[in-house]
Structure 1
Amino acid sequence: MPEIKGKTWKDSLKTRKYEEHKHCIVCGKAVPTTQDFCSQECKDSYKKADKDKGKKNTIQIVVMVVLVIVMIFVVPRLMTPTG
């Protein structure tokens, strides 16, 4: 097993080279653990994307409800014999 300066490579992974941090949700830059975004621009971008996602979900739900209504009321009338 290779050793680095008297330690095994596993021991060298355990030592921290950087202080506690996490990464920006949008761009991935390192930020303090108390923040989620590195800048106001990333925060605005995230909020806009989240808002757009909500609109898309609402449209999908409306389309699904309309399709279910069509299936319940229109399709049975098309299946009845005309005679």
Structure 2
Amino acid sequence: MSATTLQTAGEETLERVRDLPPSAKLVAKVLEYNDTLTQSELADETLLPPRTVRYALNRLEEEDLVESRFSFSDARKRLYSLNIE
């Protein structure tokens, strides 16, 4: 992906995040700086309660802004990353 394409994708992501609750914006920003985190790691990084992080992740998933997958090291956990494509 070229730098221009990445910039455009980033701008589109910002547009879609703009109308979300503050907790979802914070989770998206933390995921922007950290490639992949679990829900508990997001709670630690954002200082938000786990329930709020879960709500934020659900809202971000509804907007197709977050990708999740199972952790290979612990199948009980999911790994979340920002979807900027």
Larger-Rg structure: 1
Fold shared, TM-score > 0.5 on shorter chain:
no
TM-score, normalised relative to structure 2: 0.24
Q: Which has the higher contact order (CA 8 A, sep 6+)?
A: 2
